A = this chain, B = another copy of it.
């Protein structure tokens, strides 16, 4: 499967403000605020943190009218294309549009799929050029589909709702199916991918804590993305929202679907001479927002450290008092272990600078 990766599934393209989804666009990374939408300052602080690590699209819940109003204030103040998450109420969807939402997510499991309600919303969104995401969730599936296997039920529910919007005149449709079981999630999205040309938003719902969520999301999204399925990604984690963006970026990087700084570090063992975890963590966070491809290896000993370093842009191989630094596969010096971090930081900054200049020069 991983060898067919360059064959991305063909889809129509939609625009969320200036961010394109599908139709060959770069796979975008999403997250959702967990601050209350009515807490305007809290939301703006989260949005700024998400932007600083490279989040492309941000969603806010609009559970009531006060939230819809706050949504408008936040949209104006940040100037970003924001997505409104709507449940239960068509009225709130219209209010979110009034407030400047650039995309609406609705969950057909919680909305009456009635053409008379869908039609005016669809027509208005089409006029505004605002896409809808039909987002079906394993935990809130419409009872009408209860008799089917979960993957089939999720697919049927999603397509029924998406097709209603399309029939009502809206072409700008993104579809998402999210199950909490990573294998069901893969199967449901495969079924969906075969039957439509809507761009797909992919993610595992209720994936769990950082530990559990990274495992489930990586397995499930890894399998789908490797098959060319998925146009925008959200990694749902029960923790700080920033981790969702870091995780999504790492998944896309591992599959060679995005560039960024790849920090290779060893698990440490009895041979380890330096604080591998500390150094790797610092470099990882320092470089989180960088979109340039760069491989940095941090290994605790010379055994694999020199070999990995030779395959990296920048490498360190821990030694007893001094460690070996490598650049472009060549040993460039020995540094005292307590001076390693500043030396590495300097080397990384210079390397990035030279890479960017190289690009401009081309």
Which residues does A use to contact B, with CB under 8 Å?
Answer: 1-3, 5, 32-38, 60-61, 63, 67, 85, 87, 109-110, 137-141, 180, 182-183, 186-187, 205-220, 222-223, 226, 236-239, 241, 243-244, 246-247, 250-251, 254-256, 262-272, 276-277, 280-281, 284, 297-299, 303-305, 307-308, 311
Bound complex: CA of A105 vs CA of B62, how far in Å?
A: 56
Chain B residues with CB under 8 Å of A272's CB are 34
Contact B139 A267, beta carbon cutoff 8 Å: no
Contacts known (A2-B183, A139-B304, A139-B307); A212 close to B263, Cβ less than 8 A: yes
Contact A236 B266, beta carbon cutoff 8 Å: yes
Chain B residues with CB under 8 Å of A263's CB are 208-209, 212
Query: What are 25 contact pairs spanning A and B, CB under 8 A?
Result: A5-B183, A33-B270, A34-B272, A109-B307, A138-B307, A138-B308, A138-B311, A139-B299, A139-B303, A139-B304, A180-B297, A180-B308, A183-B254, A206-B304, A208-B265, A209-B284, A212-B250, A212-B280, A213-B267, A214-B218, A215-B251, A215-B254, A216-B250, A218-B218, A237-B267
Choose among A251, A270, A272 the residue with the greatest number of B CB atoms under 10 Å from its CB.
A270
Bound complex: CA of A255 vs CA of B32, how far in Å?
A: 27
Contacts known (A281-B209, A284-B211); A140 close to B35, Cβ less than 8 A: no
Bound complex: CA of A163 vs CA of B276, how far in Å?
A: 35
- Closest-by-CB residue of B relative to A267 is B236
Chain B residues with CB under 8 Å of A1's CB are 1, 223
Chain B residues with CB under 8 Å of A255's CB are 182-183, 219
Choose among A109, A251, A265, A305 the residue with the greatest number of B CB atoms under 10 Å from its CB.
A265
Contacts known (A138-B307, A223-B226); A63 close to B270, Cβ less than 8 A: yes
Bound complex: CA of A251 vs CA of B212, how far in Å?
A: 9
Bound complex: CA of A227 vs CA of B313, how far in Å?
A: 33
- Whole-angstrom distance from the CB of A42 to the nearest CB of chain B? 10
Chain B residues with CB under 8 Å of A205's CB are 266, 304
Pick the residue among B140, B214, B226, B238 that contacts A267 (CB under 8 A): B238
Chain B residues with CB under 8 Å of A266's CB are 205-206, 236, 238
Bound complex: CA of A87 vs CA of B303, how far in Å?
A: 9
Contact B277 A238, beta carbon cutoff 8 Å: yes
Chain B residues with CB under 8 Å of A264's CB are 180, 206-208
Bound complex: CA of A213 vs CA of B266, how far in Å?
A: 10
Bound complex: CA of A217 vs CA of B251, how far in Å?
A: 11
Contact A256 B219, beta carbon cutoff 8 Å: no
Contacts known (A139-B304, A268-B34); A250 close to B67, Cβ less than 8 A: no
Contacts known (A215-B247, A266-B206, A308-B139); A276 close to B238, Cβ less than 8 A: yes
Excluding A1-B223, A222-B223, 11 further A-B contacts by CB distance (< 8 Å) are: A87-B303, A138-B307, A139-B305, A140-B304, A206-B299, A215-B251, A219-B255, A220-B254, A238-B267, A238-B277, A239-B277
